[in-house]
A = this chain, B = another copy of it.
């Protein structure tokens, strides 16, 4: 192995600058671990003349991807440019040129992960992507190595910092979704077009990656149903609190008898559940394994240096593998054929908030509908709404399947006494008091 390992960076934004900074500042530690010095030799940028926040020798910058992809001196390519088609093309060609690749690109891995890993494996190259899920939290390693002996049956992830910030603020301050979103945008916690975050798509991509690894099954983006937080109201958060819950945007992945479900939705968690106190922009992934039981991994889900930590840790693994001559040997094909649950197999409790006519018999009509479908109530609140002939009813159901619950929901809207189903949320996680 050479005296020096050369890195080519595709992209020089937030994460890219973090990578450059860590590689520069931690040379002594890197050399100790890897046995060679590590140098960022080339960085692909859109505009090499643009002023940069961090000092960089301008000969390192290039506007031509071939200076990295086809450069025989580059050993490892780090893709931190984002986007899908172009990134995919660059990564495939880098691998074909026998360069190892580290990427932070969740969109790409959720869509083309299986393909890219196959290309890597065929070319005897490593392809690592720890930074693609939950930023600085080493969750992929923990699933693939730390819990490799176990059979994982459930994962729940707070894997989107923007929505967690918004829900935390709404819950703590009683503010509206729109006000908090605006504030988050001003603070840089939300994009000017926040759709991918607030509608749960970003979280869905990460859950596809976690599902694939945790269940050893090729879970695609199409297999993940996603619902965002834009319809969540202060009232919902307030009732959740009153009833002993906290609302989070939770990615849920469960396996039962070989069949799996993966979804993302605003979810109520008992307030003493480990995920319930994960606040602000922090991320956490809760993992339940048959043998290990409950574990949780907590940390920063985004940001320049946290995400770069994950990228450089992957780089170290690549470089250790280079020293041992064992690159391209660690990725495993999925053990199981994909088997998704039907809605009848998806079991959970639910929270429902309704407006009903405030008159005799209204309540009975609702309870009859639930009981005819064999769904019982765990908790029930009913209270009149001032100056209106309407009462607000909040229901916490016992466990039921999704198909039955959706049937009940649609029948409820047909009932004359029901003015409106205001909101409806899944409930996950056992309370520690139970």
Contact = CB atoms under 8 A, between A and B. Distances in A.
A277 B276 CA distance: 10
A82 interface: no
A91 B277 CA distance: 43
A393 interface: no
A299 interface: yes
Interface string A140-168: 01100111111100000000000000000
A408 B421 CA distance: 64
Nearest to A21: B291
Given A293-B305, A432-B279, A313 B28 contact: no
A296 interface: yes
A27 B120 CA distance: 28
Contacts of A149: 22, 26, 29-30, 308-309, 311-313, 315-316
Given A277-B277, A295-B137, A306-B293, A146 B150 contact: no
Give the oligomeric copy count. 2
Interface in A255-308: 272, 274, 277, 279-280, 282, 289-300, 303, 305-306, 308
Contacts of A28: 335
A274 B274 CA distance: 9
Given A295-B298, A309-B289, A33 B136 contact: no
B309 A300 contact: no
A130 interface: yes
A295 to B, nearest CB: 3
A32 B335 contact: yes
A122 interface: no
Contacts of A282: 294
B147 A138 contact: yes
B293 A136 contact: yes
A428 B294 CA distance: 26
B298 A296 contact: yes
A379 interface: no
B305 A292 contact: yes
A332 B291 contact: no
A295 B136 contact: yes
A21 to B, nearest CB: 8
Contacts of A312: 149-150
Q: Is the interface of A mostly helix, strand, loop or mixed?
A: mixed
A33 B313 contact: no
Nearest to A325: B326
Contacts of A300: 292-295
Contacts of A216: 29, 32
Contact of A150 (B309, B317, B320): B309
Contact of A292 (B146, B277, B293, B306): B306
Which of A18, A309, A317 has the most chain B CB atoms closer than 10 A to its own CB? A309
Given A136-B291, A141-B141, A149-B312, 6 more contacts: A18-B291, A30-B149, A141-B145, A146-B310, A274-B277, A296-B296
Report the 5 A-B pairs with minimum CB-CB distance, sorted nearest first.
A138-B146, A149-B312, A295-B299, A136-B292, A296-B298
Interface of A: 18, 21-22, 26, 28-30, 32-33, 130, 136-138, 141-142, 145-151, 216, 272, 274, 277, 279-280, 282, 289-300, 303, 305-306, 308-313, 315-317, 320, 324, 326, 329-330, 332, 335, 432
18 contacts: A22-B149, A130-B146, A136-B293, A137-B295, A138-B142, A138-B145, A138-B147, A141-B142, A145-B317, A279-B432, A291-B306, A291-B309, A292-B300, A292-B306, A293-B306, A294-B300, A296-B296, A326-B326
